[in-house]
Structure 1
Amino acid sequence: MNLALWIATGLLTAVALAGGISKTFVPKARLAAQHGGEWTQDVGTGFVKSLGVLEILAAIGLILPAVLDIAPVMVPVTATCWIALMIGAMITHGRLGQSRLVLLNSVYLALALFIAWGRFGPWPFGG
């Protein structure tokens, strides 16, 4: 199960890093022109970039604490924060009628739930 948790964590880290880099460094107008990025038209550039930075920090928080063995409890804490972020994403995409993106966000949410459950529960680091 530890391997499955690491795989889920790696997948979610890749998602967080990709989303964070695009929101932080891709111009808002270009994001808004892409399918799934329409929501950026209705919010400020600072908000989009802030979400991007949060996603990059999530990518770091999902991996580094465990790898460095410094406060590894931050891994499930970060996964729990990701759950909240995905609920917001699902609401946003749902309002825009983007059911495929809601489904995709629910997969990311499920990964985060699995990580939080496993690392807070039966398979903590160092346990």
Structure 2
Amino acid sequence: MHVAYWIVAGLLAALYLYSGAMKLTRSREQLAPMMQWVETTPMPAVRLIGAVELLGALGLILPPLLDVAPVLALVAAVGFVLVQVGAIVVHLRRDEAKVIGFNVVLLVLAAVAAWLATSFV
């Protein structure tokens, strides 16, 4: 189970590190072609989402790696499930149902990571 966790968590962490860093460092104009929802979202909220994604990615990797409060990996994975539920809701409200496929994949991966993280608790 630990090998499966590291594969799923590593993939999620890489994706969220990239996504979070983009949200923290790029302007609205740079983000809008990739993430149309930022056009109607206040930039402090976009930055906060980016910070949450970075912290969550670190939470998936560091606690079990260092064997310090490994329950935080479970908390981070559940947090990513909630992030994706929120993202799906935003897309559906914006009539962007055609773009939620990736969100659903991330939701499933986060749920799997949460289940696998229970082996550390």
Do these two structures clear the TM 0.5 threshold for a shared fold by scoring above it? yes
Partner of 1:28: 28
The aligned counterpart of 1:63 is 61
Match of 1:43 in 2: 41
Structure 1 residue 41: deviation in Å? 1.0
The 3-state SS of whatever aligns with 2:13 is helix
In the alignment, which residue of structure 2 is the partner of 1:13?
13
| Alignment match, 1:72 | 70
Q: Which residue of 2 aligns with 1:83?
A: 81
TM-score (norm 1): 0.88
- What is the one-letter code of the residue matched to 1:111? L
Q: What is the identity percentage for the equivalent residue pairs of Structure 1 and Structure 2?
A: 36
Q: Secondary structure at the match of 2:59?
A: helix
TM-score, L = length of structure 2: 0.92
Contiguous gaps of at least 5 residues in structure 2: none
Number of residues of Structure 1 aligned to a counterpart in Structure 2: 121
**Superposed displacement of residue 100, structure 1:** 4.4
- Are the equivalent residues in 1 in contact too, given 2:4–2:116 (CA < 8 A)? no
Deviation of 1:118 after TM superposition, in Å, equals 1.9
User: 2:91 matched to which residue of 1?
Assistant: 93
The ranges of structure 1 where at least 4 consecutive aligned residues each deviate by more than 4 angstroms after the TM superposition are none
CA distance in 1, matches of 2:98, 2:74: 27
